[in-house]
Structure 1
């Protein structure tokens, strides 16, 4: 009976007739209907465990020169010949240069000024003297401070000093759990990054101008502090490429 039903179904698919249909209905009476095929469902996708990349921060166009700095010798406390040939001043200078945030004066020029002012490379320099040295070099600010050893650990205290006012613009520190080159390099890098982050490059608008007073749409929440220097400029007309019509700058 089952085979006959299958033959009838096959025959109806190829050539349908009322008689064959009637006979098929008779032999299938009382039997459970065949299961309705269920369309295959795509497998549920497992959410990716990868953390989405944060949106890139908007770039800020640098107007004028970058803040020019000189790296003065750092005072060393408790650190002697165990560093071997590691030159801390060279390492600090390289780290600040690679930040691409400051215009760093070459060490040779710095040593010439120190020699002219009869100052050694000991690093024992107060804020007032540091500012005078910076003025002699012609920079906006100087970086100075100290590196101290405590057992097998080290710490750095770095200050950025305004050469016009001798005021400390920012002061940061960092620590290293070792006296080897990788540990000290990481410590110096951390301190330099803190100084950079404390002097953000931001863009705003002048919303009011009264004689020698300007009001900006920037404030403390954006990292603006008393005594910070800003470049004020007026944007010109867009410069458009004559062929591609692409805006390539502003006048």
Structure 2
């Protein structure tokens, strides 16, 4: 009896489903019915994208800073571009506002997925990092100036008594930091560091006859330069911990699947009932293993040309070379 009742329920659903999309071809009717039975777990309605709470905590990744080498003097641009983000990562991790991706994990994913670790971030690369790392925001930086100026020296001598001193070296720094939304690469917050920072404490010496005393706080020591990097990272972290993140318009993503493919036409299981309108563009995607992670690969783009209550007809705009659209492929609206 339960079996008959179960069958009757599906028969009623089948008749209702067919009547709603009667304008589509008979092949579409059968494909939608079969795939609906097999893929009922796929989301059929518009889903609002999850966004972090207004005040955090935010999951972020700090990328290496881009360095303009023409703005460097007496400093290692590669070291600066890596050391400051590393310290900034630690400083942000110690705050309640941020949850930070570890540098080792970030570098592994960037290398494996062949994504740039610094410089420009595109909407596509930002979205891939969001997918792979689960980040809300990406923190990027650009060092436009890092000039180490030698401290001035002075000396004095009279009647066998003399002294000399050297002022500490000074690092002239100019750095711009941007916080990018990981879905669109749009800027939601900024911070900057423009200052002169003393490196060490300089040196001095005194001569009295044959007796000589001296003190030397070398500006070139690793610890002295490390203190400069820390001062910069601490300044940037303080700003990022208090700056208000710009609110972006709420985004809605529509997710469904391909029910049937015929030539350059694709039929999907989303219609006006789900908020679909003509000219909407969808990405056709499927799972692909790449290295140690599974990603959703975009294989094509389609555009809605006809809309029914439960389904839509789409025109194929482009297909990635070596791929083709298949029944059951995931479709997601472009944000």
Query: Normalization by structure 2: what TM-score?
Result: 0.37
Which structure dedicates a bigger proportion of its chain to strand?
2
Which entry has the higher C-alpha Rg, 1 or 2? 1
Higher relative contact order (CA 8 A, sep 6+): 2
